[in-house]
C-alpha cells in the first residue's frame, strides 16, 4: 500500500515539475505522457541537465527551449555528442538558430541526412527561403525522388512542392511518392549528384563547400 502511495506521489511530483519547467497545459502533458513515456519517466536532475545543455549550446532562453520541447519532446533523449555534432554542422552550413527553434526536428535527423537534405533544398532554392517552411517533414528519399521527377517536368520548382502531403502530391501530379522512389532511388550516385551540384553552386558565390563524411 505504501509503495503504491509513493509511486503515485512521485508521478504527481514529476507532472508538477514538467508542467512548471516547460509551461505545459494539462492537455500537453497528457499528450507527452502518452507519446513519450520515457521522457516523463526521466529523473529531475537529468531533465535539468539536458535543458541547460541545450540552452548553453544554442544560447536559448527557457521560453525558446520550451517552444522546441513542445514540438519535439524527444529532444531530451538525444545524446549530447549527437547534438554537438549537429550544432557544428548547423554553424558550418549557416542554418539560423531561429530555424532550429521553430523546427527542432532538424536536430533529430542523422547528421549525413541533415547535410544531404539541406544541400538538396539549397539546390532548389538558392535564396534559402525553404528555411522558413518545414523542409524536414518529408524523408530524404522521398524529397530526392520528388525533386528528380519535378525537375524533369518543370524549369523551376518550389520547395513547397517537395513537402506536399502525399494526398495533395498525388492529386496534383497523378503519381505516388512510392513510384517515384522506385524510379529515382537515393543511392550513391544520387548522393554524389546532390553533393557535387551543391558545392558547385557555393563555389561560385564564395561560400564554403560541404563534405558529407565529416
Rounded mean pLDDT of 41-66? 96
Q: What is the mean pLDDT of the chain?
A: 89
Rounded Cα gap, residues 30 and 11, in angstroms? 12
Residue 6 confidence (pLDDT):
47
Check: CB of residue 39 under 8 Å from CB of residue 31: no
Which structural domains are found in the chain, ordered by start? Answer: 1-108 (1.25.70.10), 110-214 (no CATH)
What angle, 0 to 180 degrees and rounded to 10, lies between the N-to-C axes of helices 62-71 and 44-58? Answer: 110
Residue 7 confidence (pLDDT):
45
Return the higher-pLDDT residue of 4 and 83.
83
Residue 69 confidence (pLDDT):
97
pTM for the predicted model, two decimal places: 0.79
Rounded mean pLDDT of 59-71? 96
Percentage above 70 pLDDT, the chain:
89
- HEC readout, 23-80: CCCHHHHHHHHHHCHHHHCCCHHHHHHHHHHHHHHHCCCHHHHHHHHHHCHHHHHCCH
Q: Label residue 174 left, alpha or beta by phi (over 0 means left) and psi (-120 to 50 means alpha).
A: left
Residue 179 confidence (pLDDT):
98
Return the higher-pLDDT residue of 47 and 10.
47
Q: Could you read off the pLDDT of 152-180 as tens digits, one per residue?
A: 999 999 999 999 999 999 999 999 999 99
Check: CB of residue 147 under 8 Å from CB of residue 162: yes
Residue 32 confidence (pLDDT):
95
Q: Could you read off the pLDDT of 103-137 as tens digits, one per residue?
A: 999 999 888 899 899 999 999 988 888 888 888 88
Amino acid at each position: 500500500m505504501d509503495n503504491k502511495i509513493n509511486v503515485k506521489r512521485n508521478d504527481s511530483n514529476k507532472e508538477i515539475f514538467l508542467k512548471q519547467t516547460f509551461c505545459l497545459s494539462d492537455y500537453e502533458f497528457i499528450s507527452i505522457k502518452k507519446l513519450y513515456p520515457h521522457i516523463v519517466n526521466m529523473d529531475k536532475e537529468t531533465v535539468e541537465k539536458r535543458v541547460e545543455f541545450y540552452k548553453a549550446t544554442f544560447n536559448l532562453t527557457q521560453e525558446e527551449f520550451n517552444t522546441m520541447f513542445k514540438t519535439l519532446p524527444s529532444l531530451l533523449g538525444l545524446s549530447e555528442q549527437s547534438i554537438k555534432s549537429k550544432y557544428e554542422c548547423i554553424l558550418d552550413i549557416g542554418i539560423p538558430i531561429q530555424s532550429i527553434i521553430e523546427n527542432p526536428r532538424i536536430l533529430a535527423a542523422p547528421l549525413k541526412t541533415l547535410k544531404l537534405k539541406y544541400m538538396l533544398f539549397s539546390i532548389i532554392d538558392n535564396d534559402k527561403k525553404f528555411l522558413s517552411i518545414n523542409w524536414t517533414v518529408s524523408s530524404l528519399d522521398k524529397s530526392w525522388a520528388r525533386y528528380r521527377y519535378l525537375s524533369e517536368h518543370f524549369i523551376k520548382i518550389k520547395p513547397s512542392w517537395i513537402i506536399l502531403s502525399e494526398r495533395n502530391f498525388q492529386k496534383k501530379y497523378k503519381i505516388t511518392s512510392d513510384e517515384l522512389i522506385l524510379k529515382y532511388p537515393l543511392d550513391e550516385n544520387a548522393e554524389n549528384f546532390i553533393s557535387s551540384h551543391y558545392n558547385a553552386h557555393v563555389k561560385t558565390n564564395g561560400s564554403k563547400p560541404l563534405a558529407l563524411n565529416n
